[in-house]
Amino acid sequence: MGPKKTIQPSNRFRNNEKSVGIGNAFWDTSERNGLAGIVAELSNGVLRTATDHEFVNFSCCSYLDLDSHPRVIEGAVAALRKYGVLDHCIPRSRVQIPALLELEDSLGELFSADAVSAISASAASAGILPLIASGHIGNGTRPLMIFDKNCHVSMAQTKPVCADETEVVTCRHHDLDFIEDRCKEYSQVWYICDGSDSLGGYAPVKELAVLQERYGLQVFYDDSHSVSAYGARGIGYVRSNSPVLDDRTIVVTTLNKAFGTSGAAVLLNGRPKEILRIIERFAGALSYSQPLNTAAVGAGLASAEIHRTSELTTLQGRLQEKIALFDSLVGTEQSGSAFPIRLVPMDDEAVIDAGRRVFEAGFYVSPVFFPIVARGTAGLRVMMRAGQTDEQIRGLGSVLVGVGAEAASPTHARLVG
């Protein structure tokens, strides 16, 4: 018997060996320094570990604190009592209880779109993007799919699957010239990007809308970080600012960030019912026997109702006050933005130690490093919430200024303090 074959991967669209090989060392260091794998109980907004270390979490995406809102909690309980089942374990294309349709109708009215629910934004993107690649969501033409270099892993991980159906390329972050050149070259182009990203930035939706109008460009946005926290009735950055909200634009958003519940929604406009049926039947995890469970549906209905009241405006205003207070204490490249995320830049070698010192002082901010961010752009990611107290924010700001003065990278040292 001759030598056994070995596999040589093409690594055209992903490279786990590189990502794990480099990134895992940072994760191991984070865990050794007590900054990952933390187990703690929450009480009155403060977390406590088994060793009685108390800290305030500044790395939580529940920007409006709706996940603990009494009406949201009661909504989940009420739905369970009403329907008497937690998880109706059968594909919705065969049998479904009315609760899911009630939620989608409510979300559709709230966002002025056809809303399709999913168990997560990752599941939604993993189901929708391959159908775009094959032309089943579209005009039947297999498009060129341009993935933004910085798009979230929930979208980027679908590249190999999409590439089995059509041509896939990656462009530099929001490279409008590249996108326009491809629109001139190909009959159909989709651009895949974050509408609001996890490092505090927004997509150039108005500039992309010009390309949509001029060339018929279609855009797939994940706007998870801005929905609820931004816009009238919490419709998010993309749907507040893009003038092209028709069949040229699809928005995916999670419901377990500022919306405060669980699951995700795909927001579509101008798509015929036949396309919605294709999604229901063939969009991967969206068509399996794992729709949102009844508690998540009930919580979602309750949160959607809050979004229709002045309470949402009050919470959004409170969040902006907290963001402004933080900006007055710690300068970052995101200062002045309505976005609730700030990145305090650090050297790669210093970011873990800086995060540990902040944690020891009673605050948790997540160190981010490659492959979460590009090499050389590590930092401490701070997430603001409406429920944080001014005292907590001032305390964190004081600590960050102290560690930042010592640990900031030479390029960004002026941004702290």
Q: Print pLDDT tens along the chain (417 aa).
A: 778 888 888 888 888 888 888 888 888 989 999 999 999 999 888 999 999 999 999 999 999 999 999 999 999 999 999 999 898 778 888 888 888 999 999 999 999 999 999 999 999 999 999 999 999 998 889 999 999 999 999 999 999 999 999 999 999 999 999 999 999 999 999 999 999 987 778 999 999 999 999 999 999 999 999 999 999 999 999 999 999 999 999 999 999 999 999 999 999 999 999 999 999 999 988 888 778 999 999 999 999 999 999 999 999 999 999 999 999 999 999 999 999 999 999 888 889 999 999 999 999 999 988 767 777 778 999 999 999 999 999 999 999 998 865 655 444 443 444
Q: Is residue 58 part of a domain?
A: no
Which residue type is seen at 63?
Answer: Y
Domain carrying residue 228: 69-307
Is the pTM value of this prediction over 0.85? yes
Q: Is residue 64 part of a domain?
A: no
Judge contact between 365 and 378, C-beta under 8 A: no
Closest CA to 299 of 77, 20, 62, 120: 77
Share of the chain above pLDDT 90, in %: 76
Q: Mark which of 279, 307, 335 sits at the end of a domain.
A: 307
Same domain, 33 and 85: no
Domain tally, the chain: 2
Judge contact between 154 and 253, C-beta under 8 A: no
Same domain, 104 and 20: no
Q: What is the pLDDT of residues 138-164, one digit of tens each?
A: 888 999 999 999 999 999 999 999 999
Can you give the CATH number for the domain in which 256 is found? 3.40.640.10
C-alpha 185/C-alpha 54 separation (Å) is 57
Same domain, 118 and 255: yes
Q: What is the pLDDT of residues 187-239, one digit of tens each?
A: 999 999 999 987 778 999 999 999 999 999 999 999 999 999 999 999 999 99
Can you give the CATH number for the domain in which 333 is found? 3.90.1150.10
Same domain, 273 and 366: no
What is the CA angle 265-270-273, rounded to 5?
75
